[in-house]
Amino acid sequence: MKIFFDGGYSPAGMEYALVASGRTYMRRDLGEGTSMEAEWHALIAAVTLAHDLGLSEAVLLGDAAAVIAQAHGAIRCPPSCRALFDRFRDLPRPAHLRIRYIKRTQNLAGIALEAVRR
């Protein structure tokens, strides 16, 4: 199953959206932080959703190249995101989990976040 994820920062604070099987999951009350921290919250929520749905295989699709590279261990997390990375690393997850980068225009979760901001 594909799960789209996106985090962002608005005047109200950090927020994220997930889209899986045509259903949108959104949280807009994450408090103060950065856009990168919001992306980490979105990725953590996507892994958690995949696990909660009992999936044995999932592809997580997002447009935050830096966060995806950090999740893969290709680059280091900045200190401000280290606790979120550690939380991500320790999450229960499907046996076959892939995290892939997609363009912003293809990210259904990003489109959902933009729609609620209008």
- Domain with 24 in it: what CATH number? 3.30.420.10
**Is residue 108's pLDDT more than 80?**
yes
12-54, pLDDT tens digit by residue? 899 999 999 999 999 998 999 999 999 999 999 999 999 999 9
In this predicted structure, what is the pLDDT of residue 30? 94
Which helix H or strand E contains 111, and what residues bound it? Answer: helix 108-117
- List of E strands, 11-95: 13-20, 23-27, 57-62
- For range 95-115, the mean pLDDT: 96
Domains identified in the chain, total number:
1
Q: Confirm if 10 and 19 have CB atoms less than 8 A apart.
A: no
Rg (the chain; Cα; Å): 13
Provide the domain limits for residue 73.
2-117
